[in-house]
Structure formats: structure tokens, C-alpha cells
Structure 1
Amino acid sequence: MTSLIRSLVVLLFTCSYAFADAPASFSAAKAVAKQRIFFDQLAVDQGDLYCGCRWDWVGRSGGRVDARSCGYETRAQQTRAERIEWEHIVPAWVFGHQRQCWQNGGRANCVANDALFRVMEADLFNLYPAVGEVNGDRSNYQYAMVGGAPVQYGACMSKVDFRARSAEPRDEVKGLVARVHFYMYDRYGLTMARQQQQLLMAWDRQYPVTDWEREWSDRTARVMGHENPFVTGAAVWTRGYKPSRAGLMLSNPGTASVATVSDGAIIGNRNSRVYHLPEGCPSYGSVAARNQVHFQTEAAAQAAGFRKAGNCRD
């Protein structure tokens, strides 16, 4: 009975936020992730990203780590070891370095002047709670197989190789971090090194989607307005994969400008629940960036509850 009640609570809570606005900033994203995705005991029971530790929520978006739940032992930073932080699975440093704004002034400049960077920084599919100390140690390192590293965090099986500037997550989330990478690189047209692709493709095959990953992805999709196709099975990353670039947009910094997405993308207006095709729909380019929801097919838009704009020409 308890399990049934919990399931009903989760269903009612998540459905109440169906198709809510995606957060516009990293600060807002952390609060939204807590309130709408990782809000319940089901999420906490899965543990944090790197160590499987449970936590208690504290404040607007923070948490207090239960070290005993996962056998965690502090390596060096006690304060950060005690708190939950939000990890960008694909680091902001990685996608930021592929933007001109970073070359002109680093992350602060990107946040201030690059609308697309703010979208990527706040993308909920790329955010996951993590023990602060491991989050800090991982820094902006790429994922890799870390061999021969000594135990660093007690029973926590994630490893960081500071000399090689690489990190290996615990086995339980290797498939998850691979599919998040595929999503980010696909959606935003990022460039991934061949060696990184090979490793992540191997993890994707070796560690298939779990029930929790599917639930987490579904909850996130309800907020973001689109899915991670590498979790649902709608897309599979292969060698030579050509990114869809569905999340790309061109904006004038500092203005509420209209976004332009890649050819073939269907734009929905989350307020009017109307979608526009790239050809035959006069209002295709007039949907404000903050109100856009992107779909690859009309069927997907209609399944999400959108209808075609009345001024579209067949």
C-alpha cells in the first residue's frame, strides 16, 4: 500500500508540472530540479550521481549528504563532502569552450552575453545531484577508465585521476552519463573526440537504461518540453553520428530575440499550444525563444498536445 501511495503521489506531482517552462538560468534550474524532478523519496533513494549517497534537502536547492548511507569517507574537503551540489555531467567548461563568448571572457561573459550558453547551462537533462567534494574533484575532467587509483572516498567507487585530469564514475551510472553526453552533443551540435565517443558508446551498450533513468528522464521531459531520445530509444549514437542540432538558436545578446533552429525542426509555442512548420507557416520565425518547444515530427507535436497553426498553408 505504501508503494502504491508513493507512486500516486509521484504521478500527481509530476503531471501537475507537465509542459512547464524550462528554466532560464543555472540558478533557476537547480531549484526546478529539486522541486520537480528530485523532489521525493524515490529520487533520494537512488542516491547521488557519483557515490549513491542519500541526502536531505536543505534550502532552495541544496542538500545535506547522509555519508553513512553509502559508506562515504571525506578525502580532503569536509565542508563540500557534507553537502549536495549540482553536477553538469557535460561540464560547462566543455560546452563553453565551443562558444566564442568563452574565448572572449570565460563563463561570466557567456552567462551575460550568450543566450545559447545560458540554455545549455540550465538544461535539466545535464544536471544531477552529487556529493560536493567529488563534484569539485571531478572539476571539468573528461570521463575515462581510471586504472590503479587508490580508494579515495571510502565505499564510493567513483575515481578521479588528478594527474591525468580524468574521472571514472561508478558503474551504476556509466550508461546514464553516456546518454546525457549523447543528448547534449546531439542537441547543441557539439564536437566530441573520437576516443570519448568510443568509451561512451561502450558504456551505453554495457549499461542499458534502468527503470530509474527512464523515470528521471520522463520527469525532466515534462519540464523541458522534449525528451532525451537516447534514453527513449528514438536515437542511437554511432560512430560518425550527425547531430540533429535541434537546440541551436541564434540570438542577439541581451535582448529577448527570436530563436532560429536547424532546418526541419518544428517549433511549438508552449503558451498557445500551437506548432509551426519551417515551410508553409508564416509565424514560424516569430515565436519568442523563451516560449519555444522543438519537435522533430508533427506526430510528436500532436502527441504532446499541440495543434498546427491555423495560418499554415498545406
Structure 2
Amino acid sequence: MKLRTFVTAAIGLVSIITMTTYAAAPSSFSSAKRLAESEVYYDQDETFYCGCDFDFEGGPDLASCGYDVRKQPLRASRIEWEHVVPAYDIGRQRQCWQEGGRRHCRSSDPIFRQAEADLINLVPSVGEVNGDRSNLRYGMATSSSAYQYGQCTAKVDFEEDVFQPPTNQRGDVARTYWYMRDEYGVRISRQQQQLFTAWAKQDPVDAWEKERNQRITAIQGSGNPYVSENRDPSRQVMPDRQPTPSSLISRDSTAFSCSTRKTCGAMASCEEARFHLEQCGNGRLDRDKDGVPCEAMCR
């Protein structure tokens, strides 16, 4: 269970002392993973989606959470760091991604590197779940082929390109997305915004989420205001350092709608395809994950 009484007076005192001296923010995804293990999750022993007992060396205890392996037992035996907001969603609207994908963004775009290494966006996960989720959008898994990992109530729905987090982590997901939206310009479709608002109400901030945010603030110098300040999620901040390229967004997007998930064959124009990829989160339109939907039409 995520809610637990691990926050003792001693830990609280350490947090207060630590907050007075900020450490250097991680400079890369590799350094972020090391800091997350040693400075944020050093006394935590449950995975984010499934609540499996784990340690970083031994991996997850799948029996502790009733986890059923879907397909990859080797990957399920290790702990991996999950980006709640996938690197794909961070990078796909940036010029570096259009030019060479994630590797090129790492080497050429300091803002992408900062976003990829942001500790607020990293959580420990069973490796198989991290791999299955990949860059699927969050939502409700409704198809008959959706897979639930045994007693772990997370579900992956490859038919609908959806990953459904468990109830007790849905608010954490929403607040992380709002932070990444405000800090790095990550776009959230109208439908997802409505879903996240409902999730945040169902799963309010708890003791561990607050403590985690304090520890990250001590490292990075700032935390997630949706956790610490209960900020209004409807207040969308798109920082000047992260403008969305005008070539990627329709100037008359009101002509399109997310009400129906379309295939490339049903698109009337590249502009409509981009709207459905970027505003509606229809990842099926970008099969090779390079940020360009319906390539026969958009290239």
C-alpha cells in the first residue's frame, strides 16, 4: 500500500535539515536514476504501479503483490525507472526529435536533457510493466484483450494503445503530468485533462507523495506545486523556453475533434493527423514513434 506511516519524527527532522542545502540537480537520466535510488527512494520498498516489495539489487518480489508475468519473466525480475510522462511525449514536439529522435535530443537539447532527468517524473517500476507501458497514453483499458498483471490492478491495453494505472496512483500521475506541462510545455489533450482532473480528486495527495516532493526539492531546488501548494490544474503555463513549433499545431484546431479516434486512412489532411496525435493522444498514428503521424501523408 502506498499510504503508510513511514514518516517518523527523525525522517522529518532530516528532511528539514536537508532542505536548507540544495544538492545539484541531475545532469542526465543516468545520474537521475542514481540520485533517485540513493536520495529519494532509499527507504522505500514498493513499486509504483503494482506495490510489489523490492530492493534495488534483488529486484521485485512478485509473489508479494500477486504479480502475474505477461510475457517477459526476465524483465519482470528487475526494477526499472519509469518516466510517468514518457520521453516521447517530452521530445516529440521539439526540433531535435524531428531531426533524430531521443538520442539526438540528449546530445543537442539541454532542455530535453533536463526534462528527461527530472526526478519528479521518475518512479520505480517492475521492468515488464515499464516496458509494456512504453509511451502508451494513460486512460481506461476497456477492450476484451486488456491484460491485468494478476492482483496488480494496473492494466495494459494494446488494442486501444492505453495503459491504466491502479486507483491509488492515478492522482500522482495527474499531478506529474500537470507539472511537466507547466515546466516543459508537454501537451495534454482536452480529454486527458478531464480524466486527470477526475483522477486527482479520487486520489488526493498523501503523506509519501508530500515527503517524496520534499526530498526532490532538496535535490533540484524546486518541487511539484500541485503536490506542495494544491495548485489549480486548469492554470496552464506554457513557458517561453518551450514554445511548441507552429508547424506542428493547427491554427484552426477547432475544426477537428477528439470525439472519434481515427486511423490514418480517415484523415483528410496532415494537419488533422497532427491534431489527433498531439491534442488527442492517438499514438497509433505514429507507429515508428518519430513524432510524425501518418507519414505517407505528412512527408
TM-score (norm: length of structure 1): 0.71
Distance 1:190 1:4, change over 3 A: closer
Aligned to 1:300: none
Does 1:125 find its partner at 2:120?
A: yes
In the alignment, which of 11, 14, 19 is matched to residue 12 of structure 1?
Answer: 14
Residue 127 (structure 1) shift: 0.3
Instruction: Say which SS state the counterpart of residue 87 (structure 1) adopts.
Output: strand
Structure 1 residue aligned with 2:53: 54
1:164-179, aligned counterparts within 5 Å?
164-179=160-175
Structure with greater strand percent: 1
Matched position secondary structure for 1:128: strand
For residues 64 and 211 of structure 2, the distance between their equivalents in structure 1, rounded to whole angstroms, comes to 22
Alignment partners' CA distance in 2, 1:135 and 1:4: 26
Give the count of matched residue pairs. 237
SS in structure 1 of the partner of residue 156 of structure 2: strand
Distance of aligned partners of 1:24 and 1:180 in 2 relative to their CA distance in 1, 3 Å threshold: same
Alpha carbons 2:15, 2:214 under 8 Å: kept? no
In the other structure, the counterpart of 1:136 is 131
Give SS of 1:73's match. Answer: coil
Q: Which residue of 2 aligns with 1:230?
A: 226
Q: Do structure 1's residue 36 and structure 2's residue 35 form an aligned pair?
A: no
Q: What's the CA shift for 1:215?
A: 1.0
Tell me which of 72, 88, 91 is aligned to 1:93.
88
1:270 maps to which residue? none
**Structure 2 residue aligned with 1:104:** 99
Query: Partner of 2:239 in structure 1?
Result: 245
> Which amino acid counterpart does residue 85 of structure 1 have in structure 2?
E
Q: Distance in 1 between matches of 2:174 and 2:124?
A: 17
Contact 1:91 1:140 in 2 (8 A): yes
State the one-letter code of the partner of 1:242. Q
Q: Which ranges in structure 1 are unaligned for 5 or more consecutive residues?
A: 251-314
| Residue identity opposite 1:30 in structure 2 | K
* Structure 1 residues 68 and 13, CA gap change in structure 2 (3 angstroms): farther
Q: Distance in 1 between matches of 2:7 and 2:117?
A: 32
Aligned residues of 1:14 and 1:36 also touching (Cα < 8 A): no
Q: 1:205: Cα distance to partner?
A: 1.5
- CA distance in 1 between counterparts of 2:200 and 2:12 reads 28
Inter-CA distance 78–187: structure 2 relative to 1 (3 Å threshold) = same
Question: What amino acid maps onto 2:55 in structure 1?
Answer: D
Q: Is the 8 A contact 1:84 1:129 kept in 2?
A: yes
Change (3 A) 1:227 1:9: closer
What is aligned with 2:294?
none
- Counterpart CA distance in 1 for 2:128 and 2:217 is 29
Letter in 2 for 1:129: P
Corresponding residue for residue 260 of structure 2: none
Which one-letter code corresponds to 2:91 in the other structure?
Answer: G
Secondary structure, aligned partner of 1:212 = helix
Aligned to 2:249: none
Q: How far is 1:15 from its partner? A: 3.6
Indicate the residue corresponding to 1:67 in structure 2. Answer: 62
Which of the numbers 75, 81, 86 marks the counterpart of 1:80? 75
**Relative contact order (alpha carbons < 8 A, sep ≥ 6): 1 or 2 greater?**
2
Q: Secondary structure at the match of 2:213?
A: helix
In structure 1, the residue corresponding to 2:142 is in which secondary structure?
coil
Within 2, Cα distance between the matches of 1:127 and 1:237? 20
SS at match of 1:105: helix
Deviation at 1:6, TM superposition (A): 5.8
Q: In the aligned structure 2, how far is the partner of 1:144 from the partner of 1:151? A: 14
Tell me the amino acid that sits aligned with residue 59 of structure 2: R
- Kindly state the Cα deviation for residue 182 of structure 1 after the two structures are TM-superposed: 0.3
Deviation at residue 234 of structure 1 after TM alignment = 4.9
Structure 1 residues 243 and 109: CA distance shift in structure 2, 3 A: same
Find the partner of 1:159 among 155, 158, 165: 155
Pairwise CA RMSD of aligned residues? 2.2
Aligned CA distance change for structure 1 residues 83 and 51 (closer, same or farther; 3 Å): same
Higher share of residues assigned helix:
2
Query: What is the CA–CA distance in structure 2 between the aligned matches of 1:51 and 1:181, rounded to whole Å?
Result: 20
- Alignment counterpart, residue 194 of structure 2, candidates 195, 198, 214: 198
**Residue identity matched to 1:245:** P
Tell me which residue corresponds to 2:278: none
AA at the equivalent of 1:162: F
1-side partners of 2:124 and 2:9: how far apart? 22
